Amino acid sequence: MKILIIFIISTMLSTNCQAITTNLNPLILIPGAGGNQLEARLTSKYKPTSLLCNKLYPLNKDSEGWFRIWFDPSILLSPFTKCFNQRMKLYYQTQLDDYYNNPGVETRITHFGSTKSLLYLHPYLQKITAYMEPLVKALEEVGYRDGENLFGAPYDFRYGLAADGHPSHVGSKFLEDLKELIESASNSNGGKPVILVSHSLGGLYVQQLLVRNPKSWSQKYIKHFIALATPWGGTVMQMLTFASGNTLGVPLVNPLLVREEQRSSESNMWLLPSPKVFNTKSPLVVTTNVTYSAHDIPEFLKNIGFPEGVLPYTSRILPLVDNLVTSTDQVPITCVIGCGVKTPETLLYADGDFDKLPEIVYGDGDGTVNMISLLSFESNKSTYQHLKVIKIQGVSHTGILKDEIALEKIVEEISCINSDISLVSKA
C-alpha cells in the first residue's frame, strides 16, 4: 500500500512539473566545442601562407576588421580550408607554458550573457547550422526569456584548462566570466540560485568551476547542474581526430587539411581518453605492430607525428583529468545522455598509415562519446550522492539538443528543479 501511494504521488508530481512556469530560477546555457560563433581579426603581424589567405579575405568584415571565422561556409572549399586551418591554429609556447593564437590573429566571442550566438553557428544559414535553438525555444515555452532569466555563456572553445600550477589564460578567464555571470543572474533574479545546463565540453568547464570554488559559493549560487552528453573521461573519437583529422560531419572537407589545427587545440587534448576512466588494458588504437590504450597516449602522440603534444599532455592534462574523481559533491547533478548509438570504440590502422581513415569497431554511446565516459560519474556514486542519470535510447551527441523526446525530458527536469519536486520525489 505504501509503495502504491508513493508511486501515485511521484506520478502526479512528475505530470505537473511542466505546468509550473512561475517562480523560475535563472538558467545559464554553456555550449560544447564548436557550439557558438567565433569572430577573428587580422593585425599587421599576420603572415598569410598563400595569396588567397591574405588580409583581404574575407571581404565581409565590420568597420573594425572583425569577421566570422566559425562557422564560415567558405571552409568547405579546399583553398579556404587551408586559410581556416592557419587562422584557427593555436601554439603552445613551452617557455610560457600556455597556448596562444597564431601571431597576427585576434579572436573574440560575441554576445556573452545572451543565447544569441548559441542558437545558430551562422545567422544566415539557420536551417543547417541550428545548435541550441530548439532547446532555447522549448525553454521559452515554459517562461524563460533571454537576458531576463535565461543566459548564454559562449567561449573560445579551442582553449581548455590546465592542472594547478599551469597557466591557461583564456580558459581561466572564461571561468571568471562564467562565475560573474552566475552571480549577476542570481542577483538580478531576487537572489535565486542558478540552474546550469551544459552540453558536451561545456560540462567539463562547469565541473572545473565547481572544483575551483568553495562549496559555500556553489551552494549559494547554483541550484542544479544539468550536464547533457558530457565526455567526462574523453572519447576514442579524439584519437581519430589527432591521428587522421576529423571533419565533424562537414561535407567536402579533407580531414588532413584541418588535422594540424585540431591537434593544436588545447580543448581537444583535454578530450583524449582518460586512463582514470578507460580500462588501461583495452586497446583503443590498433596497428600491425603496436596497440595503444588510454595509458599509452604519450607514445600515441609521438608515433602519429605529433611529439610536441607530449609535454603539454603529460604536464597539463593528465593531472587535470584526475580531478574528475577527486572533485566534491557540491551541487545536485543530472546527467542526460544518449545511448544505443554506434560509437567508435577501437580504431584499426592495418598498415599503420595515420593519414588514412581507419576501420572502426563500434560500441555503445551517443555516436561521439563512449558509454564508459558518459557514465563515469555514475560509477562514482559514493562521491556524487546527489546524482541522477537520464538515458535516452537512440539519441546522438548533438541530437540531444534537437530530439523531441530529449527536449521534453530536459525541460521536464528543469521544471521539476524549479518547483523542488525532484527533491520531494527523492525524499
Q: Is 397 noted as a catalytic residue in this protein?
A: yes
Q: Which of 224, 274, 373, 397 is catalytic?
A: 397
C-alpha cell at 423: 527533491
Alpha helical stretches, state H, 89-232:
116-119, 126-129, 133-140, 169-187, 201-211, 215-221
Q: Return the closest-CA partner of residue 123 out of 33, 115, 349.
A: 115
Instruction: Provide the angle, in degrees to the nearest 10, between the axes of the packed helices 255-264 and 78-88.
Output: 10
Determine the Cα–Cα distance for residues 332 and 136; give it in Å rounded to an integer: 22
- Assess contact for 386 and 333: CB atoms under 8 A: yes
Catalytic residue among 146, 156, 366, 403: 366
- Options 200, 244, 415, 419, the catalytic residue: 200
SS3 state of residue 102: coil
Place of cell 600556455: 98
CA-wise closest residue to 227 among 86, 337, 357:
337
Please list, in sequence order, all residues whose beta carbon lies within 8 angstroms of the beta carbon of residue 25, skipping any fewer than 6 positions away. Answer: 149, 189, 192, 193, 194, 195, 223, 417, 418
Q: Which residues are catalytic?
A: 200, 366, 397
